[in-house]
Amino acid sequence: MINDRAVKQAIQTIEQSFSESIHALIRTTSFPEIEEPSRKLISDAMLYSLNAGGKRIRPMMLLEMARAYGGEISKTEPFAMAIEMIHTYSLVHDDLPSMDDDDLRRGKPTNHVVFGEDIAILAGDGLLNLASELMIQSAIENAGDIKYLRAMHEIMGASGANGMILGQVADIKSSDATVDLERLDFINGYKTGKLLTAALVAGGILGGADDEEVEKLRSIGKDMGHLFQIVDDLLDVVGDETKLGKRTQIDSKNLKITYPGLIGIEATRAKITEIANRLKDRIHTLRIEPTFLVSLVDFLADRDF
């Protein structure tokens, strides 16, 4: 439980500095003449979802890995913000009426409920674009150091049509097909696993991890994504809407196939423990101090929100 509290503390710290940085970034860098009503509108729509109080798991993973391998944290921040922007854009688009049609996210009405479907689509586009702008800007400022380019390449590859987007397509098109565990793992691996993995890998690269460590981080990230999604599935069945800040029973409403639906609640809990234990073993083979990643596994496995 102490570990769990440590991660929650880290999340709070990140959340605080994060909101300020993101606000300043969007308001000043990207929107020089904020009095223009369209600038204010798209800025508000982008900030609305970015500041809706997510867990900031991905930027935290990226920053902590960069720190663990000895990187300069201040130079890593644009990548942390970028990966959260990409995650947020994916939620905004996933929630759209033509996709999952969700009206509640992180305890607040979803982006399209507040701003309309057209602006929500454009706000998502704007977040994906701004993520790329942030990283390329950072790469220019650190020109000559290829690790900034490699980290960006990892993140953009993970979010694209051979990554997160593919997972969303597979998810949409699997709603009423016969889905088995293998298929479910494929969907989760792309939809959630790729970007979580990129957070660890890009963080490691920015910190200066060598290729062997990077490949270990990639393998750990894959299992963490798996863990994350199975817990998400479980919370949709047994979770508390108030704590989660989103509707539960959405998956069964949408006829979505999930782990509890396929193997039952108890077997799902056993699977979570199995993956968490395997992850901890792997984490101990890394060359870095293991506390953060071990705490993160406990946090992901035990979370109720």
Per CB under 8 A, residues contacting its own copies are 30-32, 36-39, 41-43, 46, 89, 93, 96, 98-99, 116-119, 121-122, 124-126, 128-130, 132-133, 136-137, 139-140, 143-144, 146, 149-150, 152-153, 156-157, 159-162, 165-166, 168-170, 172-173
Task: Kindly state the tokens that stand for 273.
Answer: 């423990």
User: Of the two residues 127 and 286, which places its CB atom closer to its own copies in the complex?
Assistant: 127
Q: Cβ of residue 164: shortest distance to its own copies, in angstroms?
A: 9
User: Of the two residues 38 and 178, which places its CB atom closer to its own copies in the complex?
Assistant: 38
User: Of the two residues 9 and 162, which places its CB atom closer to its own copies in the complex?
Assistant: 162
Task: Kindly state the tokens that stand for 122.
Answer: 């454009």
User: Of the two residues 118 and 289, which places its CB atom closer to its own copies in the complex?
Assistant: 118
Residue in 294, 288, 284 with CA at minimum distance from that of residue 68: 288
**Alpha-carbon span 225 to 102, nearest angstrom:** 22
Half-sphere CA count of 23, side-chain side, radius 13 A: 9
Q: Cβ of residue 151: shortest distance to its own copies, in angstroms?
A: 10
Return the bridge partners of 108, or none.
105
User: Of the two residues 126 and 261, which places its CB atom closer to its own copies in the complex?
Assistant: 126
Task: Kindly state the tokens that stand for 87.
Answer: 């995650």
**Alpha-carbon span 295 to 150, nearest angstrom:** 27
User: Of the two residues 194 and 216, which places its CB atom closer to its own copies in the complex?
Assistant: 194
**Alpha-carbon span 32 to 192, nearest angstrom:** 34
Output the 3-class SS for 54-70.
CCCHHHHHHHHHHHHCC
The H or E element spanning position 105 is: strand 104-105
By the 8 A CB rule, do 123 and 115 touch?
yes
Q: Cβ of residue 148: shortest distance to its own copies, in angstroms?
A: 9
By the 8 A CB rule, do 275 and 223 touch?
yes
By the 8 A CB rule, do 63 and 14 touch?
yes
User: Of the two residues 187 and 224, which places its CB atom closer to its own copies in the complex?
Assistant: 187
Question: Would you tell me the crossing angle of helices 164-172 and 73-94 to the nearest 10 degrees?
Answer: 20
Q: Cβ of residue 25: shortest distance to its own copies, in angstroms?
A: 11
Q: Cβ of residue 295: shortest distance to its own copies, in angstroms?
A: 32
Q: Cβ of residue 20: shortest distance to its own copies, in angstroms?
A: 19
Q: Cβ of residue 23: shortest distance to its own copies, in angstroms?
A: 14
Q: Cβ of residue 119: shortest distance to its own copies, in angstroms?
A: 7
**Alpha-carbon span 152 to 179, nearest angstrom:** 33
User: Of the two residues 35 and 289, which places its CB atom closer to its own copies in the complex?
Assistant: 35
By the 8 A CB rule, do 55 and 17 touch?
no
User: Of the two residues 14 and 156, which places its CB atom closer to its own copies in the complex?
Assistant: 156
Q: Cβ of residue 46: shortest distance to its own copies, in angstroms?
A: 7
Rg, C-alpha atoms of the chain: 19
